[in-house]
A and B are shown apart, each in its own frame.
Chain A
């Protein structure tokens, strides 16, 4: 046996209830090697990693570390074997400082000494080129700083095998490049790195080997150098799919939504939207790009009537009556009835718009119950709608009466977006509709947006992945610290140009991006 092997999994299986989350997975990672794990949503990547890090325990199979069989029953065991996991949703405590979070749960010898620990944190961050203030509180940090804390946390514990669960999902292109440089430095240091991601170009540029999972089953491992995007996609989805998003020329453009000098102030008195003016046209997809928390959410909420507006106006040209309304004077319900629809997918994917404990039919009803005529609830129509969405968007669910919370992230998002589209909107605002989604599901959503565009809907799409924004949208609005920093034509722009615009005001006004 090759004694350079850091971790090896043999025939690992795990099921939740009747659901097979992982079936006969085999993996090998050597020292100083980067392995990517690729798979669609619900293919069991995170479950598999949770078994290595001790959150779940496998039903069957063996795990070998440095050639010895081990049983990892808790996160503590995982640390013991030098395994460190950087979770997709950060497991950090907001009111603690970076150092406190890093030393949390450790049983170091000697007195409890925060200063000494902070020194060690500094040492590690210097070694790998991180940029972090050890005494800064987590709630004051940006997303990428939080991620840095997570990585230092596992390094501080002496981890040799690092697992990163979708680390780039929340980063800007520049931050991603910085992270990759650090990962490469850790690889040179002899660490083994397992990285979970959806983004194919990242897989290809970073990893040495790629392991592919499909619906819980292990498809195979290939050398990155000997493969390409379309082969990987085929392994992942099981069929060939086109990787190009079709983009038709916008037709019959009318000014549907005109926003003039919009200003909003949040509850703490901080300005979140600063003099925003733009036009959303029918039959066109308007993209909004920006660092997370730059005011995208507030902008969409202001249009939907959920955010208090301090100054400015939002004019809506009604295609049916040809009258012009100012949305600022209307209630959220009135705005919705005009056909302005918002589907927002927050970071936790469930926070807005859907009720986790209710089933799919009930969630459909949330939008329509007030239209009922009789005293009792009418379940027939929502049920038809639910079945329709499940079939059309290929939602994977046991039946329409399953609580939404039990579905995987991608399926939840399909239901959310599907419900809004079903109401025949005139303005469709989709914020992060593909957040955390795999390729197959993402393309379903892109196609949905495109078909809405063809129907003459004014689509506003807030996205994270700049590649997608550039391919899908007609125009892209870049927002930084609550101000518009530029509007670019998506057909003639580059990722770098948008990336620069995203950080434009941030660098001028100091670090106020969060």
Chain B
């Protein structure tokens, strides 16, 4: 049971990056369906950077610094994710491409790129995983509470901090107000003197950078450094999580743990067939559909998607 809970938290916090990133993006009115691809690219960039750093250290016969071994992949992942966000924004804002088509194309593109990059690296990057899974120093002293709350790697805490920070920025700052207005009604935002393109570009790039960390966390933390070709499946879950938590990053902290639990629950129930296992893995999506049904039926104005989600905005269009 304890192992289940810890596992659920570990996996859930992986989702949290993705859903926070996608929430920021969607608040600007961009429906980035390229998130799975963004996560693949983010993860492979991180792994590639880790590979470069560790092999460099090995060649020079220096012990790798744990701090750098964590920081370098994170920075590389952020850069890779942001680049994907930049491509998305360039295509949809500047070239006026359809958001859904662009997003799906980015997913396919991202999966391909990441497969290529991983096939280029040696397995050495997976040694970096132990830096990511290192628990907080005082975890052992606190018994079960310590094990549940503090036995995780650094990325888990980063994800919570980012989610809380995002929630604060969205609801309690001028930037957040402006961003939300761009996603609700870009024409109104524009008339109020807000640079719609700038907000859409920045939100998408920042959101994608954060979503990239989701891939890195999945590989380096949850899978202990083993590359698996199912990051994109996690990506779709992140998008479902955004809907599930009605575009609220602070709610997503709880929601992501629930999703993590639902996703892995089949492995902890003994004596079920392979087919039943697959059914269990569908649970998060079923829950999301139920939430969608409820929020649309209730017609509550406060739990609706940003009104202009997925819609382009061109000022002089009549």
Contact = CB atoms under 8 A, between A and B. Distances in A.
Given A85-B191, A92-B188, A93-B185, A406 B318 contact: yes
A137 interface: yes
Contact of B177 (A79, A104, A267, A405): A104
Given A16-B318, A95-B304, A104-B189, 12 more contacts: A74-B193, A75-B190, A91-B187, A91-B188, A93-B189, A94-B184, A103-B177, A104-B177, A104-B192, A105-B178, A105-B193, A112-B174
A94 B178 contact: no
B273 interface: no
Contacts, number: 76
A75 B192 contact: yes
A249 B165 CA distance: 71
A338 interface: no
Given A94-B307, A139-B301, A75 B187 contact: no
Contacts of B174: 103, 106-108, 112
Given A267-B299, A268-B299, A406-B318, A91 B177 contact: no
Interface string A81-121: 00001010011111110001101111110001000000000
B61 interface: no
Nearest to A74: B193
A56 interface: yes
Contact of A104 (B173, B178, B302, B304): B178
Interface string A46-59: 00000001011000
Contacts of A104: 177-178, 181, 188-189, 192, 194
Interface size class of A (residues with CB under 8 A): 20 to 34
Interface string A13-31: 0001000000000000000
B172 A112 contact: yes
Given A56-B316, A112-B172, A105 B184 contact: no
A93 B194 CA distance: 13
A469 B185 CA distance: 35
Interface string B251-292: 000000000000000000000000000000000000000000
A76 interface: yes
Interface residues on B, range: 20 to 34
A112 B168 CA distance: 12
A400 B299 CA distance: 41
Nearest to A108: B174
B229 to A, nearest CB: 40
A122 B179 CA distance: 25
A106 B173 CA distance: 12
Interface of A is mostly: loop
Interface string A395-429: 00000000001100000000000000000000000
A112 B316 CA distance: 32
Given A93-B184, A406-B318, A105 B189 contact: yes
Contacts of B302: 95
6 nearest interchain CB pairs?
A105-B192, A91-B188, A76-B193, A91-B191, A105-B193, A105-B194
A139 B184 CA distance: 13
A455 B315 CA distance: 46
Contact of B315 (A55, A76, A91): A55
Nearest to A56: B316
B23 to A, nearest CB: 15
B262 to A, nearest CB: 30
Contacts of B193: 74-76, 79, 105-106
Contacts of B180: 93, 96
Given A104-B178, A112-B173, A137 B191 contact: no
Interface in B146-195: 172-174, 177-178, 180-181, 184-185, 187-194
Contacts of B187: 91
A16 B302 CA distance: 39
B288 to A, nearest CB: 22
A398 to B, nearest CB: 15
A204 B231 CA distance: 69
A56 B189 CA distance: 16
A166 to B, nearest CB: 16
Contacts of B301: 94-95, 137, 139
A406 B193 CA distance: 26
A19 B189 CA distance: 28
Nearest to B304: A95
A139 B185 CA distance: 13
Given A94-B301, A104-B181, A55 B173 contact: no
Contact of B185 (A53, A56, A91): A91
A74 B173 CA distance: 24
Most buried by B among A53, A74, A95, A268: A95
Contacts of B194: 104-105
Contacts of B177: 96, 100, 103-104, 112
A75 B191 contact: yes
Nearest to B299: A268
A91 B313 CA distance: 14
Nearest to A407: B318
Contacts of B188: 90-93, 101, 104
Contacts of B191: 53, 55, 75, 85, 87, 91
Contacts of A96: 177, 180-181, 184
A105 B188 CA distance: 10
B300 to A, nearest CB: 10
A56 B318 CA distance: 12
Interface in A267-288: 267-268
Contacts of A108: 174
A56 B316 CA distance: 7
B192 A91 contact: yes
B191 to A, nearest CB: 4
